């Protein structure tokens, strides 16, 4: 671990995480954790834009000694702007999982490649670990 990664501030991390794509929700981040999400598939595109809900995922990443821990959840982003844990229907499942895999690749490349730290699943993770053969 370099001196730079030891002293990477919360503000600098927010800036770098934001560069990974449209996943970071800065208003839900703090020094204790970072919130990412993705609205992967529209539930009903025939509804007006303000009434649409989306299938997707959200992930929380928390700093720990030597890196970060993550947990993610699949669900529905409702019209109020809140995530609800739900099973994603089969017709949207592939798209949602592909977007999570794409993000995981980006966050892993950044944390492990650029920062020289590790990113691991939180022990409380209910879903399969990302990046495994599962």
Q: Three-state SS for 84?
A: strand
pLDDT (0 to 100) of residue 126: 86
Q: What is the pLDDT of residues 11-59, one digit of tens each?
A: 999 999 999 989 999 999 999 999 999 999 999 989 988 899 999 999 9
pLDDT (0 to 100) of residue 132: 60
Looking from the CA of 117 toward its CB, the CA atoms found within 13 Å total: 21
Domain at 10-121: CATH code: 3.30.310.230
Name the β-bridge partners of 99: none
């Amino acid at each position: 671990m370099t001196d730079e990664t030891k002293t990477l501030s919360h503000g600098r991390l927010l800036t770098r995480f934001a560069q990974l794509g449209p996943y970071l929700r800065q208003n839900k981040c703090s020094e204790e954790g970072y919130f990412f999400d993705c609205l992967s598939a529209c539930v009903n595109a025939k509804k007006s834009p303000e009434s649409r809900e989306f299938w997707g995922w959200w992930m929380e990443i928390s700093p720990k000694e030597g890196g970060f821990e993550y947990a993610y959840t699949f669900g529905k982003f409702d019209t109020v702007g809140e995530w609800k844990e739900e099973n994603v229907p089969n017709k949207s499942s592939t798209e949602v999982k592909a977007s999570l895999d794409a993000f995981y690749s980006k966050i892993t490349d950044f944390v492990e490649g650029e920062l020289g730290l590790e990113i691991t699943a939180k022990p409380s993770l209910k879903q399969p670990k990302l990046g495994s053969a599962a």
